[in-house]
Chains A and B, each alone.
Chain A
Amino acid sequence: MTFLKSQLKNNRFLTIVILAYVAVGIFAPDKFLPSLGNTWYYVKEMLIIMPIIMLLTSLISAWVPKETIENAFGKNSGIKGSLFAFLLGSFSAGPIYAAFPVCKMLLSKGASIANIVIILSTWAVIKIPMLITESKFLGPEFMVVRWLLTTLAIFLMGYITSRFVKPEDLPTDDETATAVDGPLALNSDYCVGCGLCAKIAPSYFKMIAKKASVINQTLPPGDNLAIKDAVAKCPSQIIRFHP
């Protein structure tokens, strides 16, 4: 029963839609099967594309050297920095809010305002697996034209924002999660729910309502490789570890 309850809570949207289907089945039974039929067409299309998206996202996260890209940022990185910002955004996984902590970290490394805007925007709109899905459902021509226009807009936006916002305008506080007592801290606002930390170090992290939480602060003596691995693998880099 609790399992069912948590499933309902985690899939509120799906539950509402299913209830709508039940209502249709009762009040307009002749529309029930056509609705499912219309859905089936898009389910098939989705099933063809989903495995590639999943695999490509994994391969990109495994082999694109993010650290190298991140280290290339700096105040005087100029056009090269902007290109790297564009690449970093394009090759990242997860929704835009997963980019916030990453950008915050890059800001502290000296990344410029323009480049932060570029990363945030590309992270949001331009991602390789996304482009494939877009071209599948709306056609390659649509995808390419939108990509070109969006890319142009993103660089312009970076430039314009940097004219109006100066580094002093940004809040300086870092480490929003330091107020926790213990060596491990985690800001679950930005968790994308991949569950990797819970898989790598199950005795320290647990997925609660689709978000990661720290469940254990006592460390055994040793180098805690599992925790370090979880910190490194987190796609939005939200785990803080201070042994």
Chain B
Amino acid sequence: MDIFTMIFWVITLVWLGFSLKKDKGKTLKAIKMSGGMMKGIAGDILGILLLIGLILTFVPPDTIKAIIGDANEVFSAVLFALLGSITLIPAFVAFPLVASLVDAGASIVPIVAFLTTLTMVGVVTFPLEKREFGLKFTLIRNSLSFAFALVIALAMGVIL
């Protein structure tokens, strides 16, 4: 376990200890809630992890590197931003997926574009958002998120 994860384990356990001591019922109820949410997506998580195994076995790192490592960064960023916009998977399932691609030599620019649009741009949830906030708001918010996802991705490519 790396030091960063360890620190979070310590923080979480200490907080949990205090929380249990202060209000046991409230704490347990909250744990039940997030446990229920986790259970709901457990199948998806396992599915993604198994899919990662298949991808890494069948697609050699050289191929991954050639497609999203050495290719034109702007082009691959736009492509992955589009991919992220139409995909609906919980973000933290996406982290191991993209990490496996980065480990195989993918450039971080398309990866960041994907991660950002994955959560901020919602093509699937567009009708719901439109119903609640109207077409204009939804269109502007999603377009801005898409554009900024590309800016963030390209900026990260320069910084890191």
Q: Using a CB–CB distance below 8 Å, which chain A residues touch chain B?
A: 10-11, 13-14, 16-18, 20-21, 24, 31, 34-40, 42-43, 45-46, 48-50, 52-59, 61-63, 93-97, 100-101, 103-104, 113, 116-117, 120-121, 124-125, 129-130, 132-138, 140-142, 145-146, 149-150, 153, 156-157, 160-161, 164-165, 169-171, 176, 189-190, 192-196, 199-200, 210, 233, 235
Contacts and interface: CB of A to CB of B under 8 A. Distances in A.
Given A59-B30, A62-B26, A194-B34, A42 B100 contact: yes
B95 interface: yes
Contact of B44 (A13, A21, A52, A153): A13
A57 B91 CA distance: 14
A125 B149 CA distance: 11
A125 B34 CA distance: 18
Instruction: Give the 4 A-B CB pairs with smallest separation, nearest first.
Output: A39-B53, A11-B43, A195-B36, A137-B99
Interface centre among A53, A55, A141, A156 (most CB of B within 10 A): A55
A199 B108 CA distance: 42
A171 B134 CA distance: 6
Given A11-B43, A17-B51, A42-B52, A100 B119 contact: no
B5 interface: yes
Main secondary structure of the interface of B (DSSP, over half): helix
B155 to A, nearest CB: 6
Interface of B: 1-2, 4-5, 8-9, 12-13, 15-16, 19, 23, 26-27, 29-40, 43-54, 56-58, 90-92, 95-96, 98-100, 102, 108, 112, 115-116, 119-120, 122, 125, 128-129, 131-134, 136-137, 140-141, 144-145, 148, 151-152, 155-156, 159-160
B12 A52 contact: yes
A35 B53 contact: yes
A54 B34 contact: yes
A93 B34 contact: yes
A61 B36 contact: no
A95 B125 CA distance: 10
Contact of A161 (B5, B95, B112, B137): B137
Given A125-B116, A190-B128, A21 B54 contact: yes
Given A150-B152, A153-B152, 18 more contacts: A11-B47, A35-B50, A38-B56, A39-B49, A52-B12, A55-B34, A93-B34, A103-B132, A130-B91, A130-B92, A137-B96, A146-B115, A153-B151, A157-B148, A160-B144, A170-B134, A194-B33, A196-B32
